[in-house]
Copies of this chain bind each other. A is one copy, B any other.
Amino acid sequence: MRSNDRTFADTARRKQITLAAIEVIAEIGYAQASIRKIAERVGVAMSVVLYHFANKDDLVREIVHHAFREAIDAIVPALDKERTATGKLRAYIVANADFMLSHRTQYTAVFDIGMSYRTASGDRMNAITLDPDLLADIGRLDLATILRQGQESGEFRDFDVAHMTSAINGAVRNGPLLELAIDPNYDMDGYAGELVTTFDLATRRG
């Protein structure tokens, strides 16, 4: 199966396998998610997965692409709706939280991949293998840009942008990670609301 020139049926199978892989990884973790188990989830032979994907890395790449693509589609419009940095920051937090909640399986899987994936030599997954177009789009949901804009407009106080970015992303994305994975009724909306207040207080010009 060459990577270009895909048929409709092939695209459908690839998507089916990708979604099944996301489920399996979210459930049992990337390290335990073998191609065999993923194939079982789909209900096909293991070799079917390797017919549609060149190798496991190829499947992982597809999962990450799929997830980022959906994240971009969900979050970027929400950011674009806002004009002020204050509004964009609020939208960033809420949109990220909404996405994590509505795509929780996917989110859990990709996060797990990000943590667990290593090459045979132990190196982490680096962005190089990702599609350049996708990488460009990922840049459009960059928090640091929003924070810089807010400082330039005078909305935000004079914090270190890199550090504040780490802080907000750590809080938004990683804070409720375990609860989200475990508790199906986790109050993500409440969490997002609390974060909005928190970082509004923490960033606004005194």
Interface residues of A (CB under 8 A from B): 27-32, 112, 115-116, 118, 120-122, 124, 159-160, 163-164, 166-177, 179, 187, 190-191, 194-195, 197-199, 201-202
A167 touches B198 (CB 8 A): yes
Interchain CA distance A167-B172 in the complex, whole Å: 7
Interchain CA distance A198-B200 in the complex, whole Å: 10
| In the complex with contacts A27-B122, A31-B31, A176-B172 CB distance below 8 A | no
B-chain residues with CB within 8 Å of residue A122 when the two chains form the complex: 27-29, 32
Residue of B nearest to A29 (CB): B118
> Nearest Cβ distance between residue A41 and chain B, in whole angstroms?
13
Q: What would be 12 A-B contacts, judged by CB atoms less than 8 Å apart?
A: A28-B122, A30-B116, A31-B116, A32-B120, A163-B187, A163-B190, A163-B195, A166-B171, A166-B176, A170-B177, A171-B175, A198-B202
B-chain residues with CB within 8 Å of residue A32 when the two chains form the complex: 118, 120, 122
- Pairs A-B, 5 closest by C-beta atoms: A170-B175, A28-B122, A174-B174, A166-B175, A163-B194
Residue of B nearest to A115 (CB): B115
B-chain residues with CB within 8 Å of residue A27 when the two chains form the complex: 122
